[in-house]
Structures are given as structure tokens and as C-alpha cells.
A and B are shown apart, each in its own frame.
Chain A
Amino acid sequence: MSLLYLYAVIDEELSSLEDPLRLVRCGELLVVVGETAPPLTPESLAAQDAVVRRLSGAVSALLPIRFGETVRDEEELRKLLQPRGPALAEALAKVRGCEQMTLRVFGNPDPPPPEPAEDAGPGTRYLEARRREVERAPSLPEIEPLLDRLRPLVKAERIERKEQGTLLGTVYHLVRREDVPAYKEASIDRRVTLSGPFPPYAFAPGLDT
């Protein structure tokens, strides 16, 4: 059965494309597609990442597509992309000329904010606790001074707080290509590991767009 395997969305023509990849035009957007869906193995992940990196190096803006995405044919691809065209074009404009840098933050969590007054009822205490959880979720106050130092070099930021053992969470930064060396230097901190530059995987729009 034939299918199209999807690698990335771009918005500019490529003069050459490695075999067997090709471009499918969907309105203003172009999708880089292959003909074979790879199995889920570390080698396949690395191979797809390598393809996306090479593509990313050849264009000014690229949105990687999640591993494993296939469509039946070009018609289905156009049908699926058409309603999301504006959101994808906006995301491409945002990542243009940028790379993703990833900070993983380790350490002990800062103590949570104080509990509400004891005379509050159980419902109020529950809602207060939920509110504090929600407010805390996308932030990493433990490294706020480092983030403040980096922000002049950062075009966009995504924080995922997910406490697992000593891992407190992950910060994804979108950094202009020319600022990557300065970012690397400024991000040296004993509580974080830095990886990247990557194509802007974490700044690709999800299903909700």
C-alpha cells in the first residue's frame, strides 16, 4: 500500500532534495515527504532527526513533523493541512532563523507557597491547592536568575515542569542562530544540562491550533 511519510513543513522551495524525498505543495506551504514509514527504533529516530537537521540547515524556517506521521496520498495531506495553514504559517514565521536549545533542570524543588488559612473550608483548600499546582506547572522558579540572564537571547520560551527524581523540568528556548554561541556560554550552570541546537521541534504547533 502506498503512503506518504511526513518529515517537515517549510515555506520555501529547495533547489535539491535528497533521494527519495520530495516536496508536496499545500497552498503556501510545502511538506517534505518520503515513501516509507520507518519502524520505531533508536536508529530510525536518529535517521529522521538527521534528515530534519539537514533540511533545517538548507532553509530559513522549518517545522519538524512528529515521528510516525503518514497520510494516504497528497489529497489527504492537503485536506488535513488546509484548515491549519494560518497557524503553521505563523509558527514558521516565529521559528525563522532560529534553533531550539533545551535545558533540563535538576535539583530539589523550591518549597511550595504557604497553605491557605486553616479556617478555610475543605472546598476552598482543595481549589487553592489546585490553583497553586496550575500556577506552578509551567514555571521553574529554581532557576529564575539563569532564565532572566538568558532571556535577552531568547525569542520564545516553553517551560514544562515535570518533577521526576532530581529532574525538575525542561526549558525549551528558541534562539536566533547567530546567538547560539552566546546562549551556550550564558547557560552554563551547575543545575542544568544543555543540549542543542536542534530544529525547533518544541515550537511546532500541536493539534489545538
Chain B
Amino acid sequence: MSEPAFAGVEEFADQAQNSLLDLVDNLLNQGVLIHGEVVLGLAGVDLVYLQLSALLCAADRVLPLKPKR
């Protein structure tokens, strides 16, 4: 059995309702994606440009292996 990491959770429950963590998780990680292209801006500057429909993968999975010396 794991050791409990949090105590008094019952007091925490409702206070956490509007926490920034939940806002970020719910609004930025979840929700319907309409076309997979989202521009997020802060103070007029685009911070993140997500072309989610693009293929994202690690370079070492697509680049040819270097010949062994």
C-alpha cells in the first residue's frame, strides 16, 4: 500500500475547484479540437503555435542511422 501523500483532502476539494492547475488542464489539454491548429498569444505576442495535425516524432526515429565506425 502506498504511503499517503496528502492529508485533509476533504477540506481541499471545493477550494481546488477553480485552481489554475484545473484551468490549464481543462482548457489547454482537453476540449474539442476543431482543426488542430491553435495559436496562443500573451500580450499580443504569439507564444505557442501548435500545428497538431503535423507529424510530430523524435528525429532519431526518422533520420537514417549513422554507419557504425
Residues of chain A touching chain B, judged by Cβ–Cβ distance below 8 Å, are 6, 9, 37, 39-42, 45-46, 48-49, 63-71, 77, 80-81, 88, 100, 102, 106-110, 142, 166, 170, 184, 188-196, 198-199, 201-202, 204-207
Assess the B6–A190 pair: CB atoms within 8 A. yes
Taking a contact as CB atoms under 8 Å apart, the answer to whether B27 and A49 are in contact is yes
Determine which of B9, B16, B32, B47 lies in contact with A88 in the assembled complex, contact meaning CB atoms within 8 Å. Answer: B32
A66 and B32: CB pair below 8 A? yes
Query: B42 touching A39 by the CB < 8 A rule?
Result: yes
Question: Across the interface, do A45 and B16 meet the contact criterion of CB distance under 8 Å?
Answer: no
- A residues in contact with B17, CB < 8 Å: 195-196
| Minimum CB distance partner of B47 in chain A | A40
Cβ-defined contact, B33 with A69, below 8 A: yes
CA distance A69 to B10 in the complex (A): 35
Residue of A nearest to B48 (CB): A40
- State the Cβ distance, B43 to closest chain A Cβ, in Å: 6
Nearest 4 pairs between A and B by C-beta?
A107-B2, A66-B31, A106-B5, A201-B30
Q: Nearest-CB distance from A17 to chain B (Å)?
A: 19
Using Cβ atoms and an 8 Å threshold, which residues of chain A touch B30? 64, 66, 201-202, 204
Rounded to whole angstroms, the CA-CA distance of A153 and B6 in the bound complex is 24
| CB pair B52 A40 closer than 8 Å | no
Mask, B1-41, CB within 8 Å of A = 1, is 01111110110110011111011111110111111101111
Contact present for B19 and A195 (CB under 8 Å) = yes
Q: How far is the CA of A109 from the CA of B12 in the complex (A)?
A: 23
Q: Which residues of B contact A106 (CB under 8 A)?
A: 4-6
Q: Chain B: interface residue count, which band?
A: 35 or more
Q: Tell me, in angstroms, the Cα distance from A201 to B27 when the chains sit together.
A: 7
Q: Which residues of B contact A193 (CB under 8 A)?
A: 6, 9, 12-13, 16
- A18 to B55: give the CA distance in the assembly, Å: 39
The verdict on A49 contacting B34 (CB below 8 Å), with A66-B28, A207-B52 known, is no
Checking A40, A170, A191 against B5 with a beta-carbon cut-off of 8 angstroms, the contacting residue is A191
Are A67 and B6 CB-contacts (below 8 A) given A42-B23, A46-B23? Answer: no
Give 15 A-B contacts (CB < 8 Å), ordered by A residue: A40-B48, A45-B28, A46-B23, A49-B26, A64-B27, A64-B31, A66-B34, A71-B34, A107-B2, A166-B5, A170-B25, A190-B6, A193-B16, A194-B12, A202-B26
Q: Decide if B53 touches A207 in the complex (CB within 8 Å).
A: yes
User: Given A71-B35, A201-B31, A194–B13 Cβ distance below 8 Å?
Assistant: yes
The verdict on A42 contacting B20 (CB below 8 Å), with A80-B34, A190-B4, A194-B9 known, is: yes
Q: Tell whether, in the assembled complex, residue A45 and residue B38 are in contact, meaning their CB atoms are under 8 Å apart.
A: no
